[in-house]
Amino acid sequence: MNTIIAVEFVLYCLVILGIGFYFSRTDINHSSFLLGGKKLPGWTLAFSERATGESAWLLLGYTGFVFTTGLSGIWVAAGIALGIVFAWLFLAKKFMIERDKYDVLTLPDYLAVRFGAHANLIRWLATILISSFLMFYISAQMAGAGKMLFTTFGLNQTTGIILATVVIIVIAFTGGFISVVWTDMIQSIMMLITLVALPIVALFYINANDLSITTALTDAGNTHDAWFGGATGFAIGVLFFNNFSWFFGFLGGQPQLSARFMALKNEKEANTASIVAIIWTILAYGGAFMIGITAITIYSQGSFGDVETILPFMVMELMPPWIAGLLLSGILAAIITTADSQLLVVTSSVSEDILHKALGLNLSEKQLVRASRIVIVVCGLIGMVIALVSESLLYLVVSWAWAGVGCTLSPAIILTFFWKRYSGIGVVATIISGFVFTALWISTPLDTIITSRFTTFFIAAFFGIVFSLIFPDAKSSAKTSSKDAVI
């Protein structure tokens, strides 16, 4: 079986690398390398946004989380699904419009241009924030690839991480955003097929072997069969918010996702993309939740040394070898291309926001692309080192990154879009407070009580609002003074 999977995996990776090579042959300017140059249809951006937003976290981390928690894991899926729906329905078109209005390529650059008096400070702070936390996100994808290769082929995880890093760097290095989106699209479809087909096959297996999901949930532990994990009173609220809090990171603050919104061509493409993304989310998260539940029924607690290897183990055990090989290849490639998307976000922040804008280096289009590719290699290698030395679970590492980046920048985006009195100093206060409080919160036992995904969002929003009221922008002050004079 491993031979079949190995052959299919090699062929699959060659196809993905071929796509990257194909786009590397075209003459790519800096805008196209970082944001696609409005050359991509909306449905591909929707698939890419979903693959980028999930991948190793959904396939390995969330399925393992449901296996260890039971029915209460549904609230994570509910929070994320509502966040995705909100982002596509209320923020995607706004990002597209603002991108054209201010002629920007990145999320930090958008905030900088909107609040020009503090532009460079915002660029530096946002880039430091994104680079600091997303490097851990990238390393989590690399660690996920290592786990997949270990589970599938018995390869040493170190070897798996190194191999994954090479492929990640090559894809991002060659075709940039366009090649990453097209490869993401293929991976996203493969992810969806896996997440829908595997629980169906597992349910047939459960029925054929006369197993009971209800009985298995009861036997698994005292809390697995309870929708609120056996909590009562105030503890229900804590559990709900801790799991549901993933919602707050989807409100425009994840730059690797917002880049897909900014790359949309027009309103028609945005509408198509919204439908595709929402349907994908419902099917994928419903499937992932059921994979965790059916795994509880088929396997006893303690059967796995690492619960985040449940999905590949189930695929190999329940699927025919040639189908298992195709699905596992697609899953592994999805993890790799998600890391590419995050790697490009860090790259764009460094090359566009710092080298090009903040430092004002007079570089040609080719020099900017070359600088971006150098950053890709350096950051890819840093991510590999973090993955090799870190022992943290995917779920935990991604949770920290989600709080540090998404739940810090989301209030900045929401306030920028919908509150006219938000100021440049307010943006600075939002970013600094979000960064500092996330770092402090996850370093203490407080994070096990109330997650930083929840606290960071509201703390960052609070400081942003307060400092905007205390230090309004000059234009806002002028308007206020003018109105007062009239009165």
Q: Is the pLDDT of residue 148 over 80?
A: no
Instruction: Write down the pLDDT at residue 465.
Output: 96
| In contact, 339 and 175? CB cutoff 8 Å | no
pLDDT range class, residue 478, cuts 50, 70, 90: very low
* Residue 293, amino acid: I
Residue 423 placed within a domain: no
Indicate the pTM of the whole model. 0.80
Residue 444 placed within a domain: no
SS (H, E, C) 273-292: HHHHHHHHHHHHHHHHHHHH
| Alpha carbons 169 and 467: distance in angstroms, whole number | 40
Q: pLDDT tens digits, residue range 44-62?
A: 999 988 888 777 678 877 8
Of 329 and 255, the one with more pLDDT: 255
DSSP H helices in 302-445: 310-318, 321-348, 365-389, 394-401, 407-418, 424-442
| Alpha carbons 108 and 40: distance in angstroms, whole number | 22
Q: pLDDT tens digits, residue range 116-125?
A: 888 889 999 9
Q: pLDDT tens digits, residue range 317-344?
A: 888 877 887 777 767 766 776 777 777 7
Decide: helix, strand or coil at residue 251. coil
The whole-number average pLDDT for the span 132-138 is: 78
Instruction: Write down the pLDDT at residue 414.
Output: 94
Instruction: Write down the pLDDT at residue 26.
Output: 60
Residue 248 placed within a domain: yes
153: exposed, middle or buried (Cβ count in 10 Å: 0-12, 13-18, 19+): middle
| Alpha carbons 163 and 17: distance in angstroms, whole number | 13
* Residue 139, amino acid: S
Residue 436 placed within a domain: no
pLDDT range class, residue 398, cuts 50, 70, 90: low
Instruction: Write down the pLDDT at residue 94.
Output: 93
Q: pLDDT tens digits, residue range 194-216?
A: 899 999 999 999 999 998 988 98
Q: Is the pLDDT of residue 463 over 90?
A: yes
Tally of structural domains, the chain: 1
Q: Is the pLDDT of residue 483 over 50?
A: no
Instruction: Write down the pLDDT at residue 202.
Output: 93
* Residue 223, amino acid: T
Closest C-alpha among 28, 125, 16 to residue 460: 125
pLDDT range class, residue 394, cuts 50, 70, 90: low
Residue 207 belongs to domain with CATH number: 1.20.1730.10
Residue 412 placed within a domain: no
Closest C-alpha among 373, 438, 342 to residue 139: 342
Q: Structure tokens of 224?
A: 């697995």
Instruction: Write down the pLDDT at residue 293.
Output: 93
Let me know how long the chain is. 487
| Alpha carbons 371 and 363: distance in angstroms, whole number | 9
| In contact, 434 and 409? CB cutoff 8 Å | yes
pLDDT range class, residue 35, cuts 50, 70, 90: low
| Alpha carbons 95 and 434: distance in angstroms, whole number | 22
What are the two backbone dihedrals, phi and then psi, of residue 275, each rounded to the nearest 5 degrees?
-65, -45
Rounded to whole angstroms, what are the CA distances from 250 to 42, 448, 452?
19, 22, 15
Of 404 and 365, the one with more pLDDT: 404
Residue 417 placed within a domain: no
Residue 151 placed within a domain: yes
| In contact, 1 and 152? CB cutoff 8 Å | no
Mean pLDDT value across the chain: 81
Instruction: Write down the pLDDT at residue 89.
Output: 93
User: Which DSSP helix (H) or strand (E) runs through 349?
Assistant: none
- Asked which of 55-59, 111-115, 403-407 is least confident by mean pLDDT, the reply is 55-59
Q: Would you say the C-alpha torsion 375, 107, 168, 25 has a positive or negative sign?
A: negative
Residue 182 placed within a domain: yes
| In contact, 260 and 350? CB cutoff 8 Å | no
On the CB side of 170, CA atoms within 13 Å amount to 18
Q: Which domain holds residue 132?
A: 2-393
| Alpha carbons 463 and 246: distance in angstroms, whole number | 21
| In contact, 257 and 80? CB cutoff 8 Å | no
| Alpha carbons 181 and 191: distance in angstroms, whole number | 15
Q: Is the pLDDT of residue 484 over 50?
A: no
The answer for residues whose C-beta is within 8 angstroms of residue 238's C-beta and 6 or more apart is: 231, 449, 450
> What's 59's DSSP letter?
I
Instruction: Write down the pLDDT at residue 268.
Output: 92
- First-to-final CA distance of the chain: 81
